[in-house]
Protein backbone atom coordinates (compact mmCIF):
# COMPACT_ATOMS: atom_id res chain seq x y z
CA UNK A 1 0.00 0.00 0.00
CA UNK A 2 1.45 3.35 -1.05
CA UNK A 3 -1.14 5.73 0.26
CA UNK A 4 -1.59 6.24 4.01
CA UNK A 5 -5.21 7.26 3.38
CA UNK A 6 -5.84 3.84 1.82
CA UNK A 7 -4.31 2.17 4.86
CA UNK A 8 -6.36 4.35 7.18
CA UNK A 9 -9.56 3.51 5.34
CA UNK A 10 -8.75 -0.19 5.35
CA UNK A 11 -7.87 -0.14 9.05
CA UNK A 12 -11.11 1.60 9.91
CA UNK A 13 -13.13 -0.83 7.79
CA UNK A 14 -11.40 -3.82 9.35
CA UNK A 15 -11.91 -2.48 12.87
CA UNK A 16 -15.63 -1.96 12.22
CA UNK A 17 -15.88 -5.45 10.76
CA UNK A 18 -14.18 -7.02 13.79
CA UNK A 19 -16.12 -5.11 16.44
CA UNK A 20 -19.46 -4.96 14.57
CA UNK A 21 -19.65 -1.24 15.25
CA UNK A 22 -20.50 1.59 12.88
CA UNK A 23 -18.48 4.72 12.18
CA UNK A 24 -20.54 6.80 14.59
CA UNK A 25 -19.50 4.51 17.45
CA UNK A 26 -15.73 4.72 17.01
CA UNK A 27 -14.16 6.29 20.09
CA UNK A 28 -11.75 9.18 19.67
CA UNK A 29 -8.85 7.17 21.06
CA UNK A 30 -9.47 4.46 18.43
CA UNK A 31 -9.45 7.12 15.70
CA UNK A 32 -6.12 8.33 17.07
CA UNK A 33 -4.77 4.77 16.99
CA UNK A 34 -5.90 4.26 13.40
CA UNK A 35 -4.31 7.56 12.37
CA UNK A 36 -1.02 6.68 14.04
CA UNK A 37 -0.97 3.15 12.62
CA UNK A 38 -1.69 4.35 9.09
CA UNK A 39 1.24 6.77 9.31
CA UNK A 40 3.47 3.95 10.56
CA UNK A 41 2.56 1.68 7.63
CA UNK A 42 3.08 4.53 5.17
CA UNK A 43 6.71 4.62 6.31
CA UNK A 44 7.02 0.86 6.80
CA UNK A 45 5.07 -0.70 3.95
CA UNK A 46 6.71 -4.11 4.34
CA UNK A 47 4.74 -4.82 7.51
CA UNK A 48 1.14 -4.05 6.54
CA UNK A 49 0.46 -7.47 5.00
CA UNK A 50 1.26 -9.44 8.17
CA UNK A 51 -0.69 -6.96 10.29
CA UNK A 52 -3.83 -7.24 8.19
CA UNK A 53 -3.41 -11.01 8.18
CA UNK A 54 -3.61 -10.92 11.98
CA UNK A 55 -6.66 -8.67 11.84
CA UNK A 56 -8.30 -11.15 9.46
CA UNK A 57 -7.89 -13.81 12.15
CA UNK A 58 -8.90 -11.65 15.11
CA UNK A 59 -11.54 -13.04 17.48
CA UNK A 60 -13.58 -10.28 19.14
CA UNK A 61 -16.38 -10.73 21.67
CA UNK A 62 -18.90 -7.93 21.33
CA UNK A 63 -21.36 -7.18 24.09
CA UNK A 64 -24.18 -8.89 22.21
CA UNK A 65 -22.08 -11.98 21.60
CA UNK A 66 -21.24 -12.30 25.30
CA UNK A 67 -24.83 -11.65 26.35
CA UNK A 68 -26.15 -14.30 23.98
CA UNK A 69 -23.73 -16.87 25.42
CA UNK A 70 -24.50 -16.01 29.04
CA UNK A 71 -28.27 -15.90 28.55
CA UNK A 72 -28.22 -19.25 26.78
CA UNK A 73 -26.29 -20.94 29.58
CA UNK A 74 -28.21 -19.29 32.41
CA UNK A 75 -31.50 -20.48 30.93
CA UNK A 76 -30.63 -24.02 32.05
CA UNK A 77 -30.33 -23.17 35.75
CA UNK A 78 -32.55 -22.18 38.66
CA UNK A 79 -31.86 -20.67 42.08
CA UNK A 80 -28.34 -19.43 41.50
CA UNK A 81 -26.12 -16.48 42.33
CA UNK A 82 -24.54 -14.91 39.25
CA UNK A 83 -21.21 -13.19 39.74
CA UNK A 84 -17.82 -12.70 38.14
CA UNK A 85 -14.36 -13.69 39.33
CA UNK A 86 -13.25 -10.69 41.34
CA UNK A 87 -10.01 -10.88 43.28
CA UNK A 88 -8.15 -8.38 45.44
CA UNK A 89 -5.82 -7.49 42.59
CA UNK A 90 -8.61 -6.96 40.03
CA UNK A 91 -8.26 -3.82 37.89
CA UNK A 92 -11.09 -1.50 38.92
CA UNK A 93 -11.82 -0.14 35.46
CA UNK A 94 -12.18 -3.68 34.09
CA UNK A 95 -14.20 -5.32 36.85
CA UNK A 96 -16.61 -2.40 37.16
CA UNK A 97 -17.58 -2.81 33.52
CA UNK A 98 -18.61 -6.40 34.15
CA UNK A 99 -21.14 -5.58 36.87
CA UNK A 100 -23.78 -3.98 34.59
CA UNK A 101 -23.37 -6.86 32.16
CA UNK A 102 -24.44 -9.28 34.88
CA UNK A 103 -27.51 -7.23 35.73
CA UNK A 104 -28.48 -6.86 32.09
CA UNK A 105 -28.20 -10.59 31.46
CA UNK A 106 -30.24 -11.56 34.51
CA UNK A 107 -33.88 -11.30 33.50
CA UNK A 108 -35.84 -13.27 36.08
CA UNK A 109 -36.26 -13.75 39.81
CA UNK A 110 -34.46 -17.08 39.87
CA UNK A 111 -31.08 -15.41 40.25
CA UNK A 112 -29.24 -12.97 42.44
CA UNK A 113 -26.37 -10.84 41.17
CA UNK A 114 -23.31 -10.32 43.35
CA UNK A 115 -20.51 -7.89 42.51
CA UNK A 116 -18.16 -8.14 45.48
CA UNK A 117 -15.01 -10.20 45.93
CA UNK A 118 -15.51 -13.87 45.05
CA UNK A 119 -13.70 -15.14 48.13
CA UNK A 120 -15.92 -13.00 50.36
CA UNK A 121 -19.01 -14.37 48.63
CA UNK A 122 -17.98 -17.97 49.27
CA UNK A 123 -17.13 -17.28 52.91
CA UNK A 124 -20.37 -15.38 53.60
CA UNK A 125 -22.53 -17.96 51.84
CA UNK A 126 -21.16 -20.75 54.00
CA UNK A 127 -21.94 -18.70 57.08
CA UNK A 128 -25.52 -17.80 56.15
CA UNK A 129 -26.43 -21.20 54.72
CA UNK A 130 -25.09 -22.83 57.87
CA UNK A 131 -26.99 -20.38 60.10
CA UNK A 132 -30.21 -20.93 58.16
CA UNK A 133 -29.94 -24.71 58.30
CA UNK A 134 -29.23 -24.58 62.04
CA UNK A 135 -32.33 -22.40 62.40
CA UNK A 136 -34.36 -24.92 60.38
CA UNK A 137 -33.22 -27.72 62.71
CA UNK A 138 -34.31 -25.68 65.74
CA UNK A 139 -37.67 -25.06 64.11
CA UNK A 140 -38.10 -28.78 63.52
CA UNK A 141 -37.24 -29.52 67.14
CA UNK A 142 -39.71 -26.92 68.41
CA UNK A 143 -42.44 -28.12 66.07
CA UNK A 144 -43.78 -24.62 65.42
CA UNK A 145 -42.48 -21.04 65.07
CA UNK A 146 -42.04 -18.81 68.10
CA UNK A 147 -40.88 -15.26 68.74
CA UNK A 148 -37.29 -16.28 69.48
CA UNK A 149 -37.03 -18.26 66.25
CA UNK A 150 -38.64 -15.44 64.27
CA UNK A 151 -36.12 -12.97 65.68
CA UNK A 152 -33.27 -15.33 64.82
CA UNK A 153 -34.52 -15.72 61.24
CA UNK A 154 -34.84 -11.95 60.88
CA UNK A 155 -31.32 -11.45 62.22
CA UNK A 156 -29.90 -13.94 59.71
CA UNK A 157 -31.81 -12.31 56.84
CA UNK A 158 -30.84 -8.76 57.77
CA UNK A 159 -27.17 -9.65 58.20
CA UNK A 160 -27.15 -11.48 54.86
CA UNK A 161 -28.85 -8.54 53.15
CA UNK A 162 -26.23 -6.19 54.57
CA UNK A 163 -23.66 -8.33 52.74
CA UNK A 164 -25.70 -8.10 49.50
CA UNK A 165 -26.72 -11.75 49.77
CA UNK A 166 -30.42 -12.58 49.59
CA UNK A 167 -30.53 -16.04 48.04
CA UNK A 168 -29.17 -18.43 50.64
CA UNK A 169 -32.21 -20.49 51.62
CA UNK A 170 -32.87 -22.14 48.24
CA UNK A 171 -29.48 -21.67 46.58
CA UNK A 172 -28.15 -24.63 44.59
CA UNK A 173 -25.51 -23.08 42.33
CA UNK A 174 -22.96 -20.27 42.08
CA UNK A 175 -22.28 -19.18 38.49
CA UNK A 176 -19.00 -17.32 37.99
CA UNK A 177 -18.18 -15.46 34.78
CA UNK A 178 -14.49 -15.17 33.89
CA UNK A 179 -13.81 -13.97 30.38
CA UNK A 180 -10.34 -15.31 29.56
CA UNK A 181 -8.29 -18.12 31.08
CA UNK A 182 -4.84 -18.39 29.51
CA UNK A 183 -2.24 -20.56 31.19
CA UNK A 184 -4.51 -21.05 34.20
CA UNK A 185 -2.05 -19.50 36.63
CA UNK A 186 -4.36 -16.67 37.73
CA UNK A 187 -7.48 -18.83 38.10
CA UNK A 188 -6.07 -22.10 39.41
CA UNK A 189 -2.66 -21.47 40.96
CA UNK A 190 -3.36 -18.06 42.49
CA UNK A 191 -7.05 -18.44 43.38
CA UNK A 192 -8.58 -21.91 43.43
CA UNK A 193 -5.49 -23.51 44.98
CA UNK A 194 -5.52 -21.21 47.99
CA UNK A 195 -6.16 -23.35 51.10
CA UNK A 196 -9.01 -21.06 52.14
CA UNK A 197 -10.76 -21.43 48.78
CA UNK A 198 -10.39 -25.22 48.80
CA UNK A 199 -11.93 -25.22 52.27
CA UNK A 200 -14.85 -23.03 51.15
CA UNK A 201 -15.55 -25.24 48.14
CA UNK A 202 -15.51 -28.35 50.32
CA UNK A 203 -18.06 -26.71 52.63
CA UNK A 204 -20.26 -25.78 49.67
CA UNK A 205 -19.92 -29.35 48.43
CA UNK A 206 -21.30 -30.58 51.77
CA UNK A 207 -24.24 -28.21 51.33
CA UNK A 208 -24.86 -29.65 47.85
CA UNK A 209 -24.09 -26.36 46.08
CA UNK A 210 -22.33 -26.48 42.72
CA UNK A 211 -19.98 -23.95 41.15
CA UNK A 212 -20.24 -23.31 37.41
CA UNK A 213 -17.66 -21.25 35.53
CA UNK A 214 -18.57 -19.55 32.26
CA UNK A 215 -15.50 -18.72 30.16
CA UNK A 216 -15.23 -17.02 26.79
CA UNK A 217 -11.85 -18.59 26.07
CA UNK A 218 -9.70 -21.12 27.91
CA UNK A 219 -6.45 -22.47 26.49
CA UNK A 220 -5.58 -26.16 26.35
CA UNK A 221 -2.97 -25.54 29.02
CA UNK A 222 -5.45 -23.70 31.23
CA UNK A 223 -8.12 -26.34 30.78
CA UNK A 224 -5.67 -29.13 31.66
CA UNK A 225 -4.68 -27.28 34.82
CA UNK A 226 -8.30 -26.69 35.82
CA UNK A 227 -9.32 -30.28 35.14
CA UNK A 228 -6.35 -31.57 37.14
CA UNK A 229 -7.41 -29.35 40.05
CA UNK A 230 -10.99 -30.66 39.87
CA UNK A 231 -9.87 -34.29 39.81
CA UNK A 232 -7.24 -33.98 42.54
CA UNK A 233 -9.68 -32.34 44.96
CA UNK A 234 -12.60 -34.64 44.16
CA UNK A 235 -14.69 -31.74 42.83
CA UNK A 236 -15.97 -33.54 39.71
CA UNK A 237 -19.56 -33.28 40.96
CA UNK A 238 -19.09 -29.78 42.36
CA UNK A 239 -17.27 -27.71 39.70
CA UNK A 240 -18.07 -27.58 35.99
CA UNK A 241 -17.44 -25.04 33.23
CA UNK A 242 -18.69 -24.02 29.80
CA UNK A 243 -17.38 -22.00 26.84
CA UNK A 244 -19.18 -20.74 23.70
CA UNK A 245 -19.42 -23.20 20.83
CA UNK A 246 -17.39 -20.84 18.64
CA UNK A 247 -14.63 -20.32 21.22
CA UNK A 248 -11.16 -20.61 19.68
CA UNK A 249 -9.39 -21.83 22.81
CA UNK A 250 -6.65 -19.19 22.71
CA UNK A 251 -5.07 -20.69 19.61
CA UNK A 252 -1.80 -18.88 18.92
CA UNK A 253 -1.21 -17.06 15.64
CA UNK A 254 1.25 -19.00 13.47
CA UNK A 255 2.34 -16.20 11.13
CA UNK A 256 5.70 -14.44 11.35
CA UNK A 257 4.92 -11.22 13.22
CA UNK A 258 8.12 -10.95 15.28
CA UNK A 259 9.80 -8.52 12.88
CA UNK A 260 6.84 -6.17 13.23
CA UNK A 261 6.91 -6.24 17.03
CA UNK A 262 10.68 -5.77 16.93
CA UNK A 263 10.29 -2.76 14.65
CA UNK A 264 7.72 -1.28 17.02
CA UNK A 265 9.85 -2.16 20.05
CA UNK A 266 6.83 -3.76 21.71
CA UNK A 267 7.65 -6.89 23.68
CA UNK A 268 5.15 -9.67 24.25
CA UNK A 269 4.58 -11.09 27.71
CA UNK A 270 7.02 -13.85 28.70
CA UNK A 271 4.38 -16.58 28.67
CA UNK A 272 2.12 -15.09 25.99
CA UNK A 273 0.10 -17.57 23.96
CA UNK A 274 0.34 -15.25 20.92
CA UNK A 275 -3.44 -15.27 20.70
CA UNK A 276 -5.61 -12.84 18.74
CA UNK A 277 -8.58 -12.28 21.01
CA UNK A 278 -10.30 -9.38 22.77
CA UNK A 279 -13.69 -8.46 24.11
CA UNK A 280 -15.40 -5.15 24.60
CA UNK A 281 -14.53 -5.69 28.27
CA UNK A 282 -10.88 -6.64 28.08
CA UNK A 283 -7.85 -7.74 26.08
CA UNK A 284 -5.92 -10.52 27.83
CA UNK A 285 -2.14 -10.27 28.07
CA UNK A 286 -1.96 -13.59 26.21
CA UNK A 287 -2.93 -11.67 23.08
CA UNK A 288 -0.06 -10.43 20.89
CA UNK A 289 1.06 -7.26 22.65
CA UNK A 290 0.90 -4.81 19.73
CA UNK A 291 -2.91 -5.07 19.89
CA UNK A 292 -3.03 -3.75 23.45
CA UNK A 293 0.31 -1.98 24.06
CA UNK A 294 1.56 1.42 22.94
CA UNK A 295 5.17 2.36 22.29
CA UNK A 296 4.43 6.02 23.06
CA UNK A 297 5.98 7.06 19.77
CA UNK A 298 4.34 5.86 16.58
CA UNK A 299 1.92 3.18 17.74
CA UNK A 300 -1.31 3.04 19.71
CA UNK A 301 -3.26 -0.24 19.95
CA UNK A 302 -6.75 -0.99 18.64
CA UNK A 303 -7.73 -3.04 21.72
CA UNK A 304 -6.04 -1.50 24.80
CA UNK A 305 -6.43 -3.20 28.17
CA UNK A 306 -7.48 0.03 29.89
CA UNK A 307 -10.34 2.21 28.70
CA UNK A 308 -9.23 5.61 29.95
CA UNK A 309 -12.66 7.12 29.37
CA UNK A 310 -13.97 5.00 32.26
CA UNK A 311 -11.57 6.33 34.85
CA UNK A 312 -12.87 8.74 37.43
CA UNK A 313 -12.07 12.43 37.11
CA UNK A 314 -11.76 14.66 40.17
CA UNK A 315 -13.51 17.54 38.38
CA UNK A 316 -16.63 15.36 38.11
CA UNK A 317 -16.76 15.06 41.90
CA UNK A 318 -16.33 18.79 42.49
CA UNK A 319 -18.93 19.71 39.88
CA UNK A 320 -21.50 17.36 41.40
CA UNK A 321 -20.83 18.55 44.93
CA UNK A 322 -21.40 22.14 43.78
CA UNK A 323 -24.60 21.08 42.01
CA UNK A 324 -26.08 19.42 45.08
CA UNK A 325 -25.20 22.40 47.23
CA UNK A 326 -27.71 24.39 45.15
CA UNK A 327 -30.56 21.87 45.25
CA UNK A 328 -33.64 21.66 47.46
CA UNK A 329 -35.30 18.25 47.60
CA UNK A 330 -38.04 19.18 50.08
CA UNK A 331 -40.66 20.03 47.46
CA UNK A 332 -40.56 16.59 45.85
CA UNK A 333 -42.03 13.38 47.32
CA UNK A 334 -38.96 11.58 46.03
CA UNK A 335 -38.84 8.25 44.25
CA UNK A 336 -40.31 5.16 45.87
CA UNK A 337 -38.77 1.88 44.68
CA UNK A 338 -40.53 -1.37 45.49
CA UNK A 339 -37.49 -3.50 44.62
CA UNK A 340 -35.21 -2.00 47.27
CA UNK A 341 -35.74 -0.26 50.59
CA UNK A 342 -33.86 3.03 50.34
CA UNK A 343 -34.89 6.54 51.27
CA UNK A 344 -36.98 8.00 48.44
CA UNK A 345 -35.05 11.27 48.65
CA UNK A 346 -31.79 9.38 48.18
CA UNK A 347 -33.23 7.85 45.00
CA UNK A 348 -34.20 11.33 43.84
CA UNK A 349 -30.68 12.62 44.49
CA UNK A 350 -29.29 9.81 42.34
CA UNK A 351 -31.48 10.90 39.44
CA UNK A 352 -30.25 14.49 39.78
CA UNK A 353 -26.64 13.31 39.77
CA UNK A 354 -27.14 11.02 36.78
CA UNK A 355 -28.91 13.74 34.83
CA UNK A 356 -25.98 16.07 35.35
CA UNK A 357 -23.44 13.38 34.39
CA UNK A 358 -25.48 12.85 31.19
CA UNK A 359 -24.84 9.67 29.24
CA UNK A 360 -21.87 8.59 31.34
CA UNK A 361 -20.67 4.98 31.34
CA UNK A 362 -22.30 2.91 34.08
CA UNK A 363 -18.95 1.97 35.63
CA UNK A 364 -17.91 5.58 35.99
CA UNK A 365 -21.35 6.70 37.18
CA UNK A 366 -21.37 4.08 39.92
CA UNK A 367 -17.99 5.00 41.39
CA UNK A 368 -18.64 8.75 41.21
CA UNK A 369 -22.11 8.57 42.79
CA UNK A 370 -20.83 6.21 45.49
CA UNK A 371 -18.13 8.72 46.43
CA UNK A 372 -20.51 11.69 46.42
CA UNK A 373 -22.98 9.88 48.70
CA UNK A 374 -20.24 8.14 50.71
CA UNK A 375 -22.04 4.86 50.11
CA UNK A 376 -20.93 1.33 49.07
CA UNK A 377 -20.77 0.69 45.33
CA UNK A 378 -22.85 -2.45 45.86
CA UNK A 379 -25.77 -0.39 47.17
CA UNK A 380 -25.48 2.07 44.28
CA UNK A 381 -25.58 -0.88 41.85
CA UNK A 382 -28.84 -2.04 43.43
CA UNK A 383 -30.46 1.40 43.36
CA UNK A 384 -29.45 2.03 39.75
CA UNK A 385 -30.98 -1.21 38.58
CA UNK A 386 -34.10 -0.62 40.60
CA UNK A 387 -34.36 2.80 38.90
CA UNK A 388 -33.82 1.13 35.54
CA UNK A 389 -36.47 -1.52 36.14
CA UNK A 390 -38.90 1.15 37.32
CA UNK A 391 -38.40 3.10 34.09
CA UNK A 392 -36.51 6.13 35.42
CA UNK A 393 -33.22 5.43 33.62
CA UNK A 394 -32.03 3.36 30.67
CA UNK A 395 -28.67 1.82 29.74
CA UNK A 396 -27.28 2.07 26.23
CA UNK A 397 -24.19 0.96 24.33
CA UNK A 398 -21.26 -1.33 25.06
CA UNK A 399 -20.43 0.36 28.35
CA UNK A 400 -24.05 0.71 29.50
CA UNK A 401 -24.17 4.50 29.34
CA UNK A 402 -26.77 5.83 31.78
CA UNK A 403 -29.52 8.13 30.52
CA UNK A 404 -32.64 9.44 32.20
CA UNK A 405 -35.91 8.49 30.54
CA UNK A 406 -38.76 10.94 30.06
CA UNK A 407 -40.17 9.73 33.39
CA UNK A 408 -36.82 10.29 35.09
CA UNK A 409 -36.47 13.81 33.71
CA UNK A 410 -39.99 14.79 34.69
CA UNK A 411 -39.42 13.43 38.21
CA UNK A 412 -36.53 15.82 38.90
CA UNK A 413 -38.11 18.80 37.15
CA UNK A 414 -39.30 20.33 40.43
CA UNK A 415 -35.97 20.29 42.22
CA UNK A 416 -35.20 23.98 42.79
CA UNK A 417 -31.89 25.72 43.44
CA UNK A 418 -32.07 26.51 47.13
CA UNK A 419 -30.53 25.18 50.36
CA UNK A 420 -27.86 22.56 50.88
CA UNK A 421 -28.86 18.99 50.11
CA UNK A 422 -27.25 17.37 53.17
CA UNK A 423 -29.66 19.16 55.49
CA UNK A 424 -32.41 16.82 54.30
CA UNK A 425 -30.75 13.40 54.11
CA UNK A 426 -31.10 10.73 56.75
CA UNK A 427 -27.62 9.18 56.78
CA UNK A 428 -29.10 5.97 58.20
CA UNK A 429 -30.78 5.41 54.84
CA UNK A 430 -27.38 4.55 53.37
CA UNK A 431 -26.51 1.94 55.99
Distance between CA atoms of 222 and 123, rounded to whole angstroms? Answer: 25
Q: Where are the domains of the chain?
A: 3-59+250-306, 63-242, 309-412
pLDDT at 420: 47
Q: How many CB atoms lie within 10 A of CB 224?
A: 14
Distance between CA atoms of 308 and 305, rounded to whole angstroms? Answer: 9
pLDDT at 124: 96
What are the strands, taking DSSP E only, across 162-313?
Answer: 173-181, 210-218, 239-242, 277-279
- Nearest Cα residue to 50 out of 62, 63, 41: 41
- Nearest Cα residue to 19 out of 53, 58, 49, 52: 58
Per-residue pLDDT tens listing for the chain (431 residues): 445 568 999 999 999 999 998 888 788 889 999 999 999 999 998 999 999 999 999 999 998 899 899 989 998 998 899 999 988 655 554 555 576 777 777 655 567 888 788 999 999 999 999 999 999 999 999 988 899 999 999 999 999 988 888 889 989 999 999 999 999 999 999 999 999 999 999 999 999 999 999 999 999 999 999 999 999 999 999 999 999 999 999 999 999 999 999 999 999 988 899 999 999 878 999 999 999 999 978 999 999 885 544 444 555 566 777 777 666 666 667 787 776 777 788 888 888 888 888 777 787 788 888 888 888 777 787 788 888 888 889 888 777 788 999 998 888 876 755 444 454 455 455 44
pLDDT at 163: 85
Q: Which residues pair with 61 in a beta bridge?
A: 279
Distance between CA atoms of 233 and 200, rounded to whole angstroms? Answer: 12
Distance between CA atoms of 1 and 37, rounded to whole angstroms? Answer: 13
CA 229 vs CA 131, 207, 311, 427: distances in Å: 29, 20, 36, 47
The distance in angstroms from the start CA to the end CA of the chain is: 62
Which one-letter DSSP state was computed for residue 219?
-
Which one-letter DSSP state was computed for residue 285?
T
CATH number corresponding to 309-412 = 1.10.10.10
Q: How many CB atoms lie within 10 A of CB 315?
A: 8
**Contact 291/339 with Cβ under 8 angstroms?**
no
pLDDT at 3: 55
Collapse the DSSP code of 289 into the 3-class scheme (helix H, G, I; strand E, B; otherwise coil) and give the result.
helix
Amino acid sequence: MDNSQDVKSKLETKYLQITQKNRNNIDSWIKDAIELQSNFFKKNGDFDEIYFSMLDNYNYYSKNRIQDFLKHKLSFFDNYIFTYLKKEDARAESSSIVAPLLYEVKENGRADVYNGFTETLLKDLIRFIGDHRAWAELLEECGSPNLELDNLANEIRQTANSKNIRKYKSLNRIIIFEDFVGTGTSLVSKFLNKPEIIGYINSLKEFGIKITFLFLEISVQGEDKLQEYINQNDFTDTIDYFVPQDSTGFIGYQGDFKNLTKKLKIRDEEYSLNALVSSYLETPNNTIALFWKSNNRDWKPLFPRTNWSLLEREDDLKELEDLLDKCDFRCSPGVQLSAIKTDRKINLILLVLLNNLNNIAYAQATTIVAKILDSPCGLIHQILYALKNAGYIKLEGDFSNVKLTRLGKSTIAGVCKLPKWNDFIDENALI
